[in-house]
Each structure stands twice: as structure tokens, then as C-alpha cells.
Amino acid sequence: MEFDSELEKIIANSRLVAIDLNSEYISSFHFLIATLKSNNVAQKIFKSNDWKFQKLIELLKSDDKKILSKYYLTKEFNNVLKNGSFYARIYSDKKVNPEHIILAMLADKNSYAGNYLNEIEMDYFKFKKECEKIRSIKSNKFLEFFGSNKRLVSLGLLSII
């Protein structure tokens, strides 16, 4: 499935965020921060909850890391991006949008950013409900059953379905 142009911009901005934070890799944390610099459903939800992720930014800053010219995705973030297309299918979208990536993070117990969002009281269904306030979404209940179950997602079931 193809990525939406806004999602491609966020992924590119994730690299810039990683550079700004002296990271040697691009993770789902960098994606969350880059989402705030864009105009999309996820950003609107984060803004309405007044989430600026300042604590996360401070945790990611470090002076002792060497900046590399080549950046790579962590395995965790790569899995989240791959799973994003499943969430686009759940909601019958033709392209993967930023909100699909956030849903993929929230549904995966191995996602660092998803766990961070859970800690600040955002879960899969709460995020979905906030999305419904901003845009019309209709889910395939069968696919959503698998996609919202952290255990099944973490076992890699989405790639089989």
C-alpha cells in the first residue's frame, strides 16, 4: 500500500528530528515528535490534548552520541511502518496516513512510542474515537479485532492476514 504524501513528509521530518536530537537512528519516538510539525489528524489530536512531548524530547537528547551521515530505522519503527498498511485496510483508506501509523504504534506492545502514548493515557480505542471526531472513519470489525489486540499484533499476525 502507498504512503500518503503527508506521511512521507513526517517520515522525512523524523530524520531531521533525529539529527536535531543527536540520534544515530530514526525511531518511533522521532516520528511522534515530527508529527507535531505537520498538519494531520494525529497532530490535531495531540494538540487538543496539549501534548508537546517535551519530556520525551529531553529524554532523547544526549551530547555523547556521534551524528552519523547514514540514518536507519530501528526494527521496532520499521515494523510499525509495515503494519500501518494493515490499519489503512481496516479503515478502507487507499493510502497509509499518519493516524494509521499512530494506531499501529498503540496496538503493538513492542512499540516504544506506543508504550509512551499509553503512559500518557492514550490507547488504541481512545485515539480511534478522537479520529472519528475529526474525520469520518468506518472500520472493518473483523480486521479491527486482530489489529487492536496487542498480543496478536506483537506475534506478527498482521503480516499473515
- pTM here? 0.79
Which pLDDT belongs to residue 53? 86
DSSP letter assigned to residue 25: E
Q: How far apart are the first and last CA of the chain?
A: 14
Architecture per CATH, domain 2-159, reads as Orthogonal Bundle (1.10)
Q: Give strand pairing partners of 96.
A: 3
- Residue-wise pLDDT for 18-69, tens only, equals 999 888 889 999 999 999 988 999 999 999 988 888 888 888 875 444 433 4
Question: In terms of pLDDT, which residue wins out, 11 or 64?
Answer: 11
Place of cell 511502518: 81
Which pLDDT belongs to residue 66? 42
Contact 125, 140 (CB under 8 A): no
Instruction: List the one residue out of 41, 45, 32, 37 whose CA is nearest residue 115.
Output: 32
- Residue-wise pLDDT for 59-117, tens only, equals 887 544 443 345 678 899 989 999 999 999 999 999 999 999 999 999 998 899 999 99
Contact 72, 161 (CB under 8 A): no
